Structure 1
Amino acid sequence: MQINLHSKSLKNNPIWYKLKQNKMTWVGLVILGLIVLLSLAAPLISPFDPNKIDLVNKFQPPSSEHWFGTDEVGRDIFTRILFGARLSLGVGILIILIAAVIGIVIGTISGYIGGIVDTVIMRFVDMILAFPNLILAMALAAVLGPNLQNAMIAIAIVKIPVYIRLARGEAMVLKEKLFVKSAESFGLNKAVIIVKHIIPNAISPVIIQATLDVGDTILLIATLGFLGLGAQPPTPEWGAMISVGWTYLLTYWWYPVFPGLFLFLASGALNLIGDGIRDVLDPKSAR
């Protein structure tokens, strides 16, 4: 009886109903789920070491032994793509998590306190947002030095202002709400009000933006890797693989095509999932 009641409550849940109706979200979830499962099972699926050089078998075309062929030093491309998925997806999610947490804390403080604090923070945010994301990320990564850690820092700095503005806007609305005014009238500390009342109620748009940003962040990581400002050889990262492989496109097409295909599928799947979460959490986006 409890199972039936649970099933009925799940069926009547508006969030579950919206997700069930959005078929493209499920397509994204299936694609992303397959990529994640393949990456986690990489040692079981492929017998090859992603970084082991085998010059005898360099530039082997796709075959039953090397499903996606081999690269210029004989490494199995399929294996490197699977291990690269761990890196690209993990780093992309980590960057957005860091940017969202920092952004919502700074944004809610700025929006709630206002005054000179808000002015200083927002002028800094406007200065960063004045530059295109890719150009600023390239400049920061070049200044910090070409490696994956510095590329992560550069992209996080580029992404943080977006979350600051979102959280600030929500905080400015929330601080006029009755429950916040009541908390103030009881003499609660501003820090307590921000942590217990402002941040929990301002987090919804941040979550929506974060889910949409993961795909874009993975593309930024790949772009910096392609330009030589991200992960360095022999790290199996999709952008770095494409960076080397595109020079062989006309003769050994499989080298850049397969990493590019996985990059396209992963970013597309994440965008589909982000659209679905936005439709669920944001009532203004109802179709």
Structure 2
Amino acid sequence: MATVAYRKKTQIFKENPIWYKLKQNKLTWVGIVILSLIVLFSLFAPLLTPYSPTKINIAEKFQSPSFHHWFGTDEVGRDIFTRILYGARLSLGFSILVIAVASFIGVVIGTISGYLGSIFDQIIMRIADMVLAFPNLILAMALAAILGPNLQNAMLAVAIVKIPVYIRLARSEALVIKEKLFVKSAETFGISKPRIILRHFIPNAFSPVMIQATLDVGDAILLISTLGFLGLGAQPPAPEWGAMISVGWQYLLTYWWYPTFPGLMLFLSAGALNLIGDGIRDVLDPKSAR
């Protein structure tokens, strides 16, 4: 009986290729576990720590890691463990929001551009090429400096940098899809172009966009944190990881825990998202199967 049950379970997995491939990729599950723990800890931060992420306590400044302060304290006595947990909401949460907005805008513009073609397509693609000609970090720094140093402007700068990637991706899919028979049939029967785009183009662009978005979240975390490190992102006393490292690296030789733990969380988050992105790419993109 046990053998029969096992065979039925295995057959169910094989009949669902997405779940079966994902189950076989152990590194993807490592990324999922790490990211899930970070998200859960940040959501339940008020229950996990009694300290405030911004309240100053000079009497306890530069306390080394201990039972009372797991990751030590900073130069004004704030608990670093608490600031890291609350900082995950900024660094991770806003990075996901940035990529969600960038991918949505990019897919809409890229799909319309690829489907309509003509001069509109040429203008959109030349603008996208101009943006993509600059390195992501350099352009994000320039935009953040122009807009002003705060977290909202840093998010906007990263979104602007990322939008052209999704425009090109959605456009390339649209150029292929618009030649398909079902699109030609829809046009023949007089279905409106907006409905064709919503019904056929955007759903068919989901897989490549999902793969790119998952990988880009890790990059967005690094970009937002880098802008924070350079003073162009989140400003004190916001518990953002890049801003914490920006101050903490000055004390690296004497108070090693200050920049080390925020840097470690940044590394774990970006690494976990890249592992998840690789796994999703292997599942949704047959060409990438190894």
Q: TM-score, normalised by structure 2?
A: 0.96
Deviations 1:129-166 (Å, cap 9, x if unpaired)?
01000000000000000000000100000000000000
SS of 2:19's equivalent? helix
Letter in 1 for 2:285: D
Identity over the aligned pairs, expressed in percent? 77
List alignment gaps of at least 5 residues for structure 2. none
CA–CA distance in 1 between the matches of 2:80 and 2:263?
A: 12
Note if contact 1:54-1:75 (Cα within 8 Å) is conserved in structure 2: yes
Residues 1-287 of structure 1 aligned to structure 2 (within 5 Å): 9-10=12-13, 12-287=15-290
Displacement after TM superposition at 1:206 (Å): 0.7
Note if contact 1:167-1:203 (Cα within 8 Å) is conserved in structure 2: no
SS of 1:102's equivalent? helix
Displacement after TM superposition at 1:9 (Å): 2.9
Runs of 4+ in 1 over 6 A off after TM superposition: 4-7
Displacement after TM superposition at 1:168 (Å): 0.1
CA–CA distance in 2 between the matches of 1:255 and 1:32?
A: 22
Letter in 1 for 2:218: G
Displacement after TM superposition at 1:7 (Å): 8.2
CA–CA distance in 2 between the matches of 1:79 and 1:227?
A: 23
Q: TM-score, normalised by structure 1?
A: 0.97
List alignment gaps of at least 5 residues for structure 1. none
Displacement after TM superposition at 1:188 (Å): 1.4
CA–CA distance in 2 between the matches of 1:109 and 1:16?
A: 32
Displacement after TM superposition at 1:12 (Å): 2.9
Letter in 2 for 1:46: T
CA–CA distance in 2 between the matches of 1:229 and 1:60?
A: 28
Moved more, 95-104 or 30-39: 30-39
Deviations 1:63-87 (Å, cap 9, x if unpaired)?
1110000000000000000000111
Letter in 2 for 1:257: T
CA–CA distance in 2 between the matches of 1:10 and 1:278?
A: 19
Note if contact 1:62-1:68 (Cα within 8 Å) is conserved in structure 2: yes
Letter in 2 for 1:85: A
SS of 1:169's equivalent? helix
Deviations 1:71-120 (Å, cap 9, x if unpaired)?
00000000000000111111010000000000000000010111101000
CA–CA distance in 1 between the matches of 2:199 and 2:269?
A: 36
Moved more, 214-223 or 193-202: 193-202
Note if contact 1:104-1:203 (Cα within 8 Å) is conserved in structure 2: no
- Compute the RMSD of aligned alpha carbons: 1.2
SS of 2:205's equivalent? helix
Letter in 2 for 1:222: S
Letter in 2 for 1:124: I
